[in-house]
Structure formats: C-alpha cells, structure tokens
Amino acid sequence: MKYRNLSIWKNVDKPLFLFYFILSIIGYLVMYSSNYNGFEIQDFLWNTNYGKQLIWLILTFFFGVFILLIDGNFIKNSSYFIYGIVILLLVIVLFMPPIKGATSWFYFSSFSIQPSEFIKLGLSLALAKLLSDVGSKFQDFRTKLKAFLLIVTPAILIAIQPDPGTMLVFSCFVFVLYREGLSGNFLLIGLFTILIAIVGIFLKASNSVFFIGSNAVSGNLFFGFILCIGFLFSFLIIRYFVLPRFRKQKIRSLIFISVLGLSISGGINIVYDTIFKERHRTRFQIMFGVKEDRKGAGYNIYQSLSAVGSGKIFGKGFLKGTLSNDKFKHVPEQNTDFIFCVLAEEWGFSGCMVFIILYISLLVRMIMVAERQRSKFTRIYGYCVSGILFFHFMINIAMVIGLAPVIGIPLPFFSKGGSAILTFGLMIFILLRLDAERKVVLR
C-alpha cells in the first residue's frame, strides 16, 4: 500500500464519529444518574463511579486523538503483537486473587483492569491481519485453522476465569468469517445447534414429561426420539428425490448434523445436572416462565422489569428515577449490566426508541464504512467491531427485559467499567483512522 500525506481530520468519517460521541455523552449522563446521590465536588473524581468514568472517557479521547495521528500501516503491522500481549495478560490474570468467584481483574489501588475486554480489540486486529495478508485464502484449510485458533484460544482462557458472558461474545466472529467466504451451511448448522440447545434446556428446565401409552418419558428423551424420526425422514427424501451425483454429499452432511443434534440433545442432560449450578438452573426456569423467584435468583430481572415499566412513555426525567439509582438500590448492578433500566425509567419508551435508533445508526454506518474500503484489512476489522458491538447491544437489552439469562454482558458506552469504555472507544478510533486512508490505498 502507498499513502499520500493528507489531512486526517478532513477524511475522518464525521457521521460515525458523531454517533459515537453522542452515545458516549448520553451513556455518561445515564451512568451519572444511576450513581447520583447528591453532588460533592471534593469527591467527584476519586470517590464516585461517575468521576472515575469521566476520567476513563477523557483518557479514551486522548488515546483516540493519538491513534488518529498514527499511520495505518503501523496499526496493521502491530496486530499480532497487540493480540499476543493481551493473551499473555489473560494467562497472568488467572493467577490473581479471585473477585466474586472469578479471576478476571488486575487491581491497582483504586482502579482495576480487565484484560478480557482488551482481547476483543486484539482479536479483531489479528483476525483482520490474518485474513488480509497477501497469499492468505480463507478457502484454504490452513487459514481456516489459524482463524479458528485465534478465536478459540482467548475464549478458552476466559472460560477458565470463568466469564461465560465474555466468552460468548466470540461467537459473533462467525458472521465476520461468513462475510469473508465461510459457507452458509455453517451458519445454518449454528442456528440448528442453538435451536436444539434452547429446546433441550427448556424441556430440562420445565421437567417436561410425555406419555406414550401408560409409560412416562422425559421431555429430552422424547425430543431425541422426534429428532431421530426427522433425520430418518430426511434420509428417505435424499435417497429417493436427490440426484445420484449429489446424494453421497447430502447423506454425509445429514449424518454429521444428526450426530451433532443428538449429541447436543443428550449432552444437555449432563451439562444441566452436573455443570450448571442451582442459580443457573433457576435463571433458565425464570427466563422460560417455568418458575418465579422474586426474592432469589430472579430478583434482578423482576426489579429490572419494574424499573423499565415505571418509565412509561416519556419517563420521569433526568435524575428523577426512584427505582434504578444508587439512592434506593431497587435494581442491583444498575450501573453495569442493568444500566438500560436507568434509561428506560428516566426517559421512558420514547427515550429508549431514540437510543435504539442511534445505536442501530452507528452499526449501519460502521457496515457502510467497512464495505466501501479498498483495504481488505480495514473491511474485516470494521465487520469485527460492528459484530462485537451488535452482540453486546442485543444481549444486554435482552437480559434487562428478561429475554436472555443474566450472563454479565455490558452495554457499550453506557455500563460502568474503564476497561470496556477504553476498549470500545479505541475500536471506533482505529476504524476512523484506517478509514481516513481509504482514498489513497492502492489496490
């Protein structure tokens, strides 16, 4: 690639920066309101969550400006180095004292660092570098294996911490690989796997029983029987209605899907009974409406729903929330995982719609920026970042309104957490920097 000296700010995508800036400001105001319990100027910076959050925001914009001055080639060539450094941090953090049962943080006096947030940036850069290198073809098995190892390695280290919520974020990279040539069959298999898992967990959580004659059969066993019939029926269709030259390939695919489906259906019983703890099982029962536990495992969700519903159409107004702030502590973790409750209570349904429109606009703009690139590296990186932000946005809101189990997924630009604020901000600024060079990149 060759570059000419151009004014960086002149070529920075203004709409993308504006969406990010507006969401960051709104996010800070919402976080400020969630922790507001009377303003004391002497405690603003060090003894309050909103003071620390402001410092992280200022640091993010400071590093962001610095990134805009760096040559895009330097960022690209540093991708593997950044990824390797964060992987090393993920290994070291496993030896730190556990906090709330997880070894996920480095603590330095009054602030902490969570390397599992930084790996989202490191992996996005490394994956973009791998798939964009000269001579790298995603259709080759070796390239696919390298991409798989890049994604799985941090996922395993994060699972050991354990941090299942962050680990699940890595599933969004499947869509990036699909954009770069991964067969659509993998997406269909992934959706099939998710569907089987959801049905299996529901049947297990609800203790479903089916009667065949006078014999009672557990829901999962009956479901496995239905799957077998479906696979047999599919085999007959292939056997008698598919052309001979395609028949062998279709049968092999059906065998793979059959083994996968039955393994997941049977494995759900083992995982649910042995790996899931009682609180996890209760959360699934609450999510599927099988059980109510308003004072136990379902407390957060029910308190969250009451706060969201109390906002009605136009909300109660800024700093006027009574259920989702630090003063009354009606909603636990109201400034982290459940910060969407604060927005819903104070700004109501209309405020939530404005937020959703802004966030979707940010994601759409990022896809547009990614698609207009001459640089393959920038395009892949743009898809990585947009996929990560979309996953966080979708799962966090689903958690708050009870459509997904509580798995600790923060809402980008809103939830408290310096590591997340810095990581998501740097992701945007790097994309802005790389995009600013798009007009002078030679194919």
Identify the residue whose tokens are 């700093």.
319
In a domain, residue 54? The reply is yes
pLDDT for res 2 = 44
At 187-240, the pLDDT tens digits run 777 778 878 888 887 787 777 766 666 666 677 777 888 888 988 998 889 888
pTM (predicted TM-score): 0.85
Residue 387 vs residues 122, 171, 393: alpha-carbon distances, Å: 14, 9, 10
Tell me, yes or no, whether 262 and 355 share the same domain. no
Residues 6+ apart with CB under 8 A from 309: none
Read off φ and ψ for residue 99, nearest 5 degrees.
-120, 120
In a domain, residue 195? The reply is no
Tell me, yes or no, whether 254 and 358 share the same domain. no
Asked if residue 334 lies in contact with residue 326, where contact means CB atoms within 8 angstroms, the answer is yes
CA of residue 56 relative to chain centroid, distance: 21
For the beta carbon of residue 135, count every other beta carbon within 10 angstroms. 6
Region for residue 315 given its phi and psi (left: phi exceeds 0; alpha: psi -120 to 50; beta: otherwise): left
In a domain, residue 196? The reply is no
Structural domain boundaries enclosing 63: 8-190+288-440
Asked if residue 193 lies in contact with residue 185, where contact means CB atoms within 8 angstroms, the answer is no
Tell me, yes or no, whether 13 and 61 share the same domain. yes
In a domain, residue 200? The reply is no
Tell me, yes or no, whether 91 and 67 share the same domain. yes
For the beta carbon of residue 416, count every other beta carbon within 10 angstroms. 22
At 279-309, the pLDDT tens digits run 667 777 777 666 666 666 667 788 888 888 8
pLDDT classification of 277: cutoffs 50, 70, 90: low
Identify the residue whose tokens are 């303003």.
39
In a domain, residue 3? The reply is no
Tell me, yes or no, whether 310 and 346 share the same domain. yes
Look at residues 245, 264, 287 and tell me which one is the last residue of a structural domain: 287
Tell me, yes or no, whether 184 and 226 share the same domain. no
Tell me, yes or no, whether 36 and 148 share the same domain. yes
Does the pLDDT of residue 132 top 70, yes or no? yes
In a domain, residue 175? The reply is yes
Structural domain count of the chain: 2
Look at residues 248, 272, 287 and tell me which one is the last residue of a structural domain: 287
Tell me, yes or no, whether 335 and 432 share the same domain. yes
At 75-113, the pLDDT tens digits run 999 999 999 999 999 999 998 888 777 788 888 766 788
Tell me, yes or no, whether 271 and 138 share the same domain. no
Tell me, yes or no, whether 263 and 128 share the same domain. no
Alpha helices in 288-339 (DSSP H): 299-310
Tell me, yes or no, whether 250 and 163 share the same domain. no
Angle of helix 115-132 relative to helix 418-435, nearest 10 degrees?
A: 20
* Tokens describing residue 356: 């959703």
Cα atoms found within 13 Å of the Cα of residue 36, Cβ hemisphere only: 17
At 147-196, the pLDDT tens digits run 889 998 998 898 888 787 788 888 888 888 888 887 777 777 777 887 88
pLDDT for res 349 = 93
Tell me, yes or no, whether 356 and 302 share the same domain. yes
Asked if residue 213 lies in contact with residue 202, where contact means CB atoms within 8 angstroms, the answer is no
In a domain, residue 18? The reply is yes
* Tokens describing residue 345: 């209570």
In a domain, residue 409? The reply is yes
Look at residues 255, 287, 319 and tell me which one is the last residue of a structural domain: 287
Does the pLDDT of residue 410 top 80, yes or no? yes
